[in-house]
Structure 1
Amino acid sequence: MNVDLRRLPSLRAREPRRFVMLGALVVATACTFTPPGRPPAALLPPPAAVNSYTLDQYRNAIAHRIVERNPSYVLNGTPQAMLRSLVVVSFTVDSAGRLVSSSVYRTNGDDQAEATALATLRRAAPLPPPPPKLLNGRGQVEIMEDWLFNDNGKFQLRSLATPQAQVLD
């Protein structure tokens, strides 16, 4: 059976779509080919996840250094249910682990807790050198850490903190 395409415009319009769809299918198939011995890209974590995991590891190493250098200030055990103070400190570390700058980012206004947080950070310097992939264009990394203070003036760092008590004393 012969069909005159001039008389069936809708059939003529569908033909190019069929070739475009076939071409797209070929391209998609070629893009999903994975060489042997290499995991598919879908199974690899995205770069942002790798960097954030490394940042968490680095923050943990810094927290351990702060605790190691300031044992008399560290709270052992469970932080009380209602903390005396929460001090968030922002600080910058260079590629060699030197503390470039530090400042209180957020606080409840407890001057003594703020001073303790900044002093214990300075006392821990030099800090462990950061992984190169965390460094910004100036060769530095910016970090934030939380100091959780009990009424007795001792603290835990959020990176290493145990869960708080659930009952007020």
Structure 2
Amino acid sequence: MRSANLDQYRIEVARRVAERNPSGLLRGTPQAMLRSLVVVAFTVDRGGRLVNASVYRSNGDSEAEALALASLRRSAPLPAPPSRLLDGNGQLEMMEGWLFNDDGHFQLQSTASAQAQSID
């Protein structure tokens, strides 16, 4: 059950990031060969405050990494996580992927549209 709750919370976080970063949001289908996939590890406290955030994995695209981290920080505070997901310190550690097209627009992996199947 924890997994289903975490998946739902990820979707809530992705929606918050999208609403707080409308100019960076990719609308429509991500291209077949993404410019970058940036995985961000972050910690949220019981009130939704961002405790820390760092790039967990990337292809080395420093601009995309900076955009991912900045978009997450602009979105704080995040929705408060369900109490059953919190650790003994009252925090939740999680990861999310930012999918970047060549133009720098992004979608979050939890709510992303299916990628294009061919390179045009």
Q: TM-score, normalised by structure 1?
A: 0.71
Give the letter aligned to residue 69 of structure 2.
L
Give the corresponding residue for 1:83.
Answer: 34
Deviations 1:98-147 (A, max 9, x none): 00000000000000000000000000000000000000010000010000
- Counterparts of 1:68-147 in structure 2, within 5 Å, are 68-147=19-98
1:165 aligns with 2:89: no
Question: As a proportion of its length, which structure holds more strand?
Answer: 2
Distance apart, 1:61 and its partner CA:
0.3
Distance apart, 1:155 and its partner CA:
0.3
Percent of pairs with identical residues: 67
- Counterparts of 1:12-91 in structure 2, within 5 Å, are 50-91=1-42
Deviations 1:75-113 (A, max 9, x none): 000000000000000000000000000000000000000
What is the rounded CA distance, in whole Å, between the counterparts of 1:150 and 1:141 in structure 2?
Answer: 29
Please identify the structure whose Cα radius of gyration is greater: 1
- Aligned residue for 2:116, secondary structure, equals coil
| Number of residues of Structure 1 aligned to a counterpart in Structure 2 | 120
What is the rounded CA distance, in whole Å, between the counterparts of 2:11 and 2:117 in structure 1?
Answer: 25
What is the rounded CA distance, in whole Å, between the counterparts of 2:81 and 2:37 in structure 1?
Answer: 25
Question: Where do 5+ consecutive residues of structure 1 fail to align?
Answer: 1-49
1:156 aligns with 2:107: yes
RMSD of the TM alignment (CA)? Answer: 0.4
What is the rounded CA distance, in whole Å, between the counterparts of 2:54 and 2:63 in structure 1?
Answer: 14
Question: As a proportion of its length, which structure holds more helix?
Answer: 1
What is the rounded CA distance, in whole Å, between the counterparts of 1:77 and 1:96 in structure 2?
Answer: 32
Q: TM-score, normalised by structure 2?
A: 0.99
